[in-house]
Structure 1
């Protein structure tokens, strides 16, 4: 990319409250209902959606399944709850005839069990009582059976054996973890305990339960385990994507498997593929399967290519491999059109692909950020959509008309009482003459007559985005409400601008992104938005890495916020996933140590002089807590003002409501201390 001229536009205008007059607070974030992915009924006359609300007193959230009418050419009707508020529910799935709804509900012991409720009235019926619960239910075409995942313990591959082993472990005073595996924990969970998902089929009439994958020792996506299998249109088989550790290559990858529903062995379909095989979906006639494939197992943001597998022969051929965007999810419509979501220039949109043509997908719904979409029987699409100024709500789209209609308004009661500042989108010249983009959120009362204190909010990854999405953990509007201009730079290395844009910073984490953030800062000063004497840099994960890197390379910021940031690159070999470290960091400790240290913030502690707030969770296995503790220890030893906020019960993210409120108080308090005045 080459810059032609600096560009700026208003993305979301400032919004004044319909009642009252106040700015957004962290408490508002936890008062906003969190709207999940909609599930359309078979006849497209209604949809079910899970809405989660949070209670600060109990410090937890509870999901509730709602039913919303949505007949074609009529405005959505009034939503009514299908599940009670006593226990958290979710994952709704309509029976093929639309008369019943399966869903999951959390039981008293905290495990999620499967239930079914008649939609014409009546109480929910509990269907299973498994020791580690079940999830992701799907009805089979006959309407008499339900398929779902349930977790068992490795070596104890029946519900009864798993239950017995859990009881034994609970009584055992020794809690040590022992392993010889390279991958032994993930995110905030030890994998050495042996939890393994198995695919079960439940016959409702007979009350029988059968394990379709009795010998399985693989995993599903730990962050989002649902949505990784599909049932063939004839109801005879299931195809799923499972994660395994390839010991011969010493890396994690995923493989497609096929299992017959009438009994039989699980068969691997893509064992020879190089990296990830993702999200299989049957074509409407069942003759072939579309799935996503990556090629580089050492680059977690490698572009997803769509492939098609002939169901009879098993032959795999390309479907969409030259498009310079990366599909996230894909589903077939009744007419055979393949709809998919993908990031594009800081947004996530819906695209349509004709499997019979050789062209690129065409955009049919423009984000914001679109997710959780599903084609409906009447040709419409249903999905959640959000933006920097609008939390997720359900929308209906008619691709042939290009129209989009909002179908729910669960978040309106909170948003009607708060003011939101203007959000602008800017494009400017970054490092090496490349064009970069950023979103800028202004305080609600900003008049544009003077520069304001500014916060650079640096996203994680590094291969991710600051997208046009409503962020609850790092809300730019809450920061802006305190009087700050908030800049979110999509520096080189970010996704949604193509493979090269994302990949070009490998082996040089502190190079182009640092220059991009500095150039964006210069731009905000030059256009009169940012006060150069009152600026802060803040970020989490890779954003925390960049915050620490900034601390060692410039003193232009009055303070820094480092949440769960990488301080010592070599120390990241204590992280949960170590494959690909050589490519991202420039080398291995035994072959490239100098390159690793070249981009490690710890090496540049001699340049530290800026006050820094360090925040970290004990259960963070992605960026171990020692990273934050070491950074804080060096700052204090050097006599630099520093403050540590340690969360013993949080992981890489701060997820508990009251911990989150403390996080916002500490971060906003640190900013007020150094740049508000």
Structure 2
């Protein structure tokens, strides 16, 4: 449900999005290269979206002269992808693709003083550590570990390696009954038996090993014999672990709970493992919410991490803390920024921390002066920055907007940004993008709400356009300048729709009160904010108020189901993807119970709990008798966050009520749609449905 912006996309997620290392075999590997697609009509198409290269992680060489990064390419006919490695000069010149393989090269970093590149690849079927020269030559496997390596970090002295790998933590049915090796039944005795898109049988553990530059030895599991996760599923990667500057301590993130305790708590901590004494210390024990993503300062005097205050509230303000390693003093240093610290990096002199955070619908880079904890915005503009790394006297970061996917930029400390990569320029040059406009609207309670409006290419104010209300997921994820390969506003605009995307109540970037109002009030002010956005736009002469649609996923899907019973004939078509239809069932079905407890206010059987009772009284399924509008329901059967039976029930209810409905079910997709052909199918189905009900001329006899 909740969408999280991470500093680095973990290798586990990269592998999942590409089919997974374990799914790769020599027989089905295909070399997928950059597309030279030709686009007719200068309008965005699903095929154009899937032809785009997707920039992944990046790293700057120790001397600051080179940048290495990865790009994923997809093949719709093959329904596969692979990820390649590129190296360029610090000014973006001499950009060279240095790999061209059928494998997944991930998490590239500079090692051995910058003379070599380390990376993860699945050449032999499992994910292992490799090295090569910066020109791609002399590719050599460095590890032959028995499991997949999902992330790694070389120690500052180059003599050790920290890596992530899965360990078995639960007895299988075959373990219990060896004479039934083909039995498929799963015996469950506690909660958290499923998570995100998998049946839980193990946990990621952090391992440390000696590294002589040729291979690893003396491997130690930092959580040996313990059933806990580090990093934490499903989002965590190597960013949740860190070396200290002297290579003798490792900090790691873990929620040391299992079963019911894990399912009902967000209380994770930062632990420090001493390689000399083999002792572990919890340095955040007093805090009861999330503590994640530790980073040591370059001078070795401090450690910083992200922290949420309250247990069970996974969208609490994500604060930045630092601790003096000599005195143990801790400080909440990001108080001056009333929004989440999404990613951060220390300056070379340890006097400043640079971080990204969202404010008023844009995610920018900020400088936090540790002398007085003041915050200054470095960048500005209608786009989002994602992650940042030191780059001499500059920062290197990825940037995107509603009109362009990720590219790499060099950012001077005065905010001057220089684009270094032009991965998809050949595609953008063939496209005409719609205008993106910000509007501030007055809500029903007198507040000001930022709403993004995206217009079709060649917009003509003298015409009337069908218009879509976009309902954000999360529920507490910002409607910032995001770029999506599925919920892409420019492809909606290219199909001649105006899109209205409000930053309704319950989104970060407008202060804590605005963000928190949604908790326990799913059917309240946030829904009034939706009505404000679409009603204000419907007053415009170029909006066809008789052909309005409403679309959304996750909490946005819940919003669609809820609005279907409350919209008073505003809309002529609905599309809900992975949405909650029956909140009583959702309370029991979702795996992360802390989410349901916080957002719903408690269990539906708590009859004396007014917040919980209000929540469940507003469940969309209770208003099916008021449904009167065609609806498309989409869901993945591997979505264990919101089970697919929610969409099936909504679809069945619509059909039983005589309402035109359609159901798109993916047996092999989770809360997202990751496979290329499934992505194309999603787009085609999406627009066929909207065109059928919102473009009357499309239904005329030909």
- TM norm. shorter chain > 0.5: yes
Does the residue aligned with 1:49 lie in a helix, a strand or coil?
Answer: strand
What's the counterpart of residue 12 of structure 1?
none
1:294 aligns with 2:308: yes
Q: Which runs of 5+ in 2 are unaligned?
A: 1-36, 697-702
Q: Distance in 1 between matches of 2:598 and 2:250?
A: 36
The farther-off stretch of 58-67 and 351-360 is 351-360
Does the residue aligned with 2:653 lie in a helix, a strand or coil?
Answer: helix
What's the counterpart of residue 6 of structure 1?
none
1:217 aligns with 2:246: no
Mapped contact 2:162–2:206 kept (Cα < 8 A) = no
Q: State how 1:549-588 maps to structure 2 within 5 Å.
A: 549-554=562-567, 555-572=569-586, 573-588=588-603
Does the residue aligned with 1:94 lie in a helix, a strand or coil?
Answer: strand
Once the 2 structures are TM-superposed, how far is the Cα of residue 117 of structure 1 from its aligned partner? 1.2
Match for 2:60 among 40, 43, 57? Answer: 40
Q: Distance in 1 between matches of 2:95 and 2:373?
A: 42
Mapped contact 2:240–2:294 kept (Cα < 8 A) = yes
Once the 2 structures are TM-superposed, how far is the Cα of residue 253 of structure 1 from its aligned partner? 2.5
Mapped contact 2:55–2:72 kept (Cα < 8 A) = yes
1:530 aligns with 2:543: yes
Does the residue aligned with 1:500 lie in a helix, a strand or coil?
Answer: helix
Once the 2 structures are TM-superposed, how far is the Cα of residue 363 of structure 1 from its aligned partner? 3.5
The farther-off stretch of 549-558 and 519-528 is 519-528
Q: Deviations over 1:224-253 (max 9, x none)?
A: 423112211112211111233276694232
What's the counterpart of residue 238 of structure 1?
250
What's the counterpart of residue 13 of structure 1?
none
Q: Distance in 1 between matches of 2:601 and 2:161?
A: 48
Aligned in 2, Cα 1:482/1:19: closer, same or farther, shift over 3 Å?
closer
Q: Distance in 2 between matches of 1:552 and 1:644?
A: 18
Aligned in 2, Cα 1:120/1:602: closer, same or farther, shift over 3 Å?
closer
Match for 2:51 among 31, 34, 37? Answer: 31
CA RMSD of aligned residues (A): 2.4
Mapped contact 1:196–1:216 kept (Cα < 8 A) = no
Q: Deviations over 1:67-94 (max 9, x none)?
A: 1111xxxx42121123232211010111
1:92 aligns with 2:108: yes
Q: State how 1:52-71 maps to structure 2 within 5 Å.
A: 52-70=72-90
Q: State how 1:489-508 maps to structure 2 within 5 Å.
A: 489-508=502-521
Once the 2 structures are TM-superposed, how far is the Cα of residue 38 of structure 1 from its aligned partner? 1.9
Match for 1:184 among 190, 193, 201? Answer: 193
What's the counterpart of residue 10 of structure 1?
none
Q: State how 1:114-513 maps to structure 2 within 5 Å.
A: 114-119=129-134, 122-154=137-169, 172-191=181-200, 193-205=201-213, 207=215, 208-213=217-222, 214-219=224-229, 220-221=231-232, 222-245=234-257, 250-262=264-276, 264-321=278-335, 323-336=337-350, 337-364=352-379, 368-376=383-391, 378-399=392-413, 401-513=414-526
Q: Distance in 1 between matches of 2:446 and 2:179?
A: 60
Q: Distance in 1 between matches of 2:179 and 2:70?
A: 33
TM-score (norm 2): 0.88
Does the residue aligned with 1:521 lie in a helix, a strand or coil?
Answer: helix
Aligned in 2, Cα 1:128/1:96: closer, same or farther, shift over 3 Å?
closer
Q: Distance in 1 between matches of 2:494 and 2:329?
A: 56
Q: Deviations over 1:486-532 (max 9, x none)?
A: 11111111122121111112221121122111111121121223211
What's the counterpart of residue 27 of structure 2?
none
Aligned in 2, Cα 1:323/1:105: closer, same or farther, shift over 3 Å?
same
Q: Distance in 1 between matches of 2:312 and 2:533?
A: 30
Mapped contact 2:98–2:136 kept (Cα < 8 A) = no
Mapped contact 1:480–1:486 kept (Cα < 8 A) = yes
Q: Which runs of 5+ in 1 are unaligned?
A: 1-16, 157-161
Does the residue aligned with 2:113 lie in a helix, a strand or coil?
Answer: coil
Aligned in 2, Cα 1:205/1:22: closer, same or farther, shift over 3 Å?
closer
Mapped contact 1:212–1:261 kept (Cα < 8 A) = no
Once the 2 structures are TM-superposed, how far is the Cα of residue 195 of structure 1 from its aligned partner? 2.9
Once the 2 structures are TM-superposed, how far is the Cα of residue 216 of structure 1 from its aligned partner? 4.2
Q: Deviations over 1:440-488 (max 9, x none)?
A: 1111121111221011121101111222121111111111111111111
Match for 1:113 among 128, 137, 145? Answer: 128
Does the residue aligned with 1:91 lie in a helix, a strand or coil?
Answer: strand
Q: State how 1:500-649 maps to structure 2 within 5 Å.
A: 500-554=513-567, 555-572=569-586, 573-591=588-606, 592=609, 594-649=613-668
Mapped contact 2:523–2:615 kept (Cα < 8 A) = no
Once the 2 structures are TM-superposed, how far is the Cα of residue 552 of structure 1 from its aligned partner? 0.3
Once the 2 structures are TM-superposed, how far is the Cα of residue 359 of structure 1 from its aligned partner? 2.1
Aligned in 2, Cα 1:20/1:563: closer, same or farther, shift over 3 Å?
closer
Q: Distance in 2 between matches of 1:206 and 1:452?
A: 63
Q: Distance in 2 between matches of 1:311 and 1:69?
A: 37
Does the residue aligned with 2:388 lie in a helix, a strand or coil?
Answer: strand
Aligned in 2, Cα 1:565/1:576: closer, same or farther, shift over 3 Å?
same
Equivalenced residue count is 645
Q: Distance in 2 between matches of 1:655 and 1:362?
A: 35
